[in-house]
Chains A and B, each alone.
Chain A
Amino acid sequence: MFVSDSERVIAKQFHENGFVIQPVAELAQFARIRQVVVETAASFLGSEVVNEESFLNQIHEQIDVDQLNSLRLHVIRQMNAQSWFRAAYFQIAKPVLEALVGNELAMQLRINLSIQLPQDHSSLLPVHADVWSGDSPYEVVVWLPLVDCYRTKAMYLLPPEADQQLREEFQNYAGRSSEELFRRISEEVHWIEIKAGEVLIFNQNLPHGNRVNQELETRWSMNCRFKGVFTPYGDKRIGEFFEPITLKAASRIGMSYRFPKMQSTTGDT
């Protein structure tokens, strides 16, 4: 394989751990993304912001669970309405995406935002792998925390080796619940520790999720899926979920090429 040493290292980590954490490739773009989220949330709440990170971490002092979804949807709508937003998100993870996925990419059309208040039972994602719900196994998730995340304020991921064992027992879980599945893997999952200004790229084929945030701070994180543009799609299709973002000239030429029409002289069709 003609890959550089640095790409080989990243690929090995991704294979072995199921994830890679890197500093964001463009700090200015990260700052821009966080700023738009903070400003939108502050205007929704009518709040003054002195320190962005504290504002986000302590948002539970200004909002309760009943208002949370309205805030979340408002911020998602506003951030995705910025024409530069998705390009900035891509720039943050571009080098690692190119190492792990490729340089002709499809990106999710709308970036998601999670806000997980301390002790909130309403924003939980039960254990799942995206591929179990119709995603293509060729996708990766770029997960961007806007605040430091640790222990239950973060997400968990089942490492590949443990996933392999779980797959062998999977038939035993027919008719049982996702909570029972979580209990089976709870000792084996890896809780991601990541700081604001870093980005996580993880293998969404591995079981992952979150639990009630038992910490004293609120989690704010974004997630967005990427895949090779010419790799197979699942139920999340090109156009309605994914969009090509880095098509190269040769692909554009190939996609539009048709043979010239010729009149047969032999009667063959």
Chain B
Amino acid sequence: MSGFQGYVTSRAFQGQRVPQHVQNLVIRDYCQSHGLRYLLSGTEYALPGSTLMLQQLLDGLERLEGIVFYSLFQLPENPPARQAIYQQVLKQKKSLHFAVETLALQQEQDGQRLEDIWGVFQVMKHVPNVQEML
């Protein structure tokens, strides 16, 4: 069963709620345009803070080429937890993809790129959307 499994969430993440079928459409389109074989998606439980399904996918990583998240911001909010995921994926020579952002973790330096985005996101997320200030 070699290919990429999708990862979607059934609850809002970082202030966004996207219907699951839309998340799947975006993942499917990403896989198609990047030549990745898409093996359906695992859906995270709606329980606040749950990463049970993500952990399930990571535990079964040896059977996959990687995981395609709908968004980078579905990764855990805690930086060490993200780092642990990056390390596990790279150690197993697999990859993570983030469909909305069209970003991927395929090598060590990609982790810094993703963390820069997360870092700025965390600093700026308490600044209101500028449209509300105009």
Contact = CB atoms under 8 A, between A and B. Distances in A.
A97 B7 CA distance: 38
Given A138-B130, A233-B129, A255 B72 contact: no
Looking at chain B's contact residues, is the secondary structure mostly helix, strand, loop, or mixed?
helix
B130 A137 contact: yes
B122 A255 contact: yes
Contacts of A120: none
Nearest to B33: A77
Contact of B131 (A134, A229, A239, A251): A134
B124 A136 contact: no
B120 to A, nearest CB: 5
A49 B52 CA distance: 55
Q: How large is the interface on A (under 10, 10 to 19, 20 to 34, 35 or more residues)?
A: 20 to 34
A235 B131 contact: yes
Interface string B55-83: 00000000000000001110000010000
Given A109-B102, A137-B134, A232-B130, A239 B124 contact: no
A247 B116 contact: yes
Contacts of B113: 243
Q: Which 5 A-B pairs have the closest CB atoms?
A: A255-B119, A232-B130, A136-B130, A244-B116, A239-B117
Given A239-B118, A247-B116, 9 more contacts: A134-B131, A137-B130, A137-B134, A234-B129, A239-B103, A243-B103, A243-B117, A247-B120, A251-B119
Interface of B: 33, 71-73, 79, 100-103, 113, 116-124, 127-131, 133-134
21 contacts: A137-B134, A138-B130, A229-B120, A230-B120, A232-B130, A233-B129, A234-B130, A235-B129, A237-B121, A238-B121, A239-B72, A239-B100, A239-B101, A240-B71, A240-B100, A243-B103, A243-B113, A243-B117, A244-B116, A252-B119, A255-B120
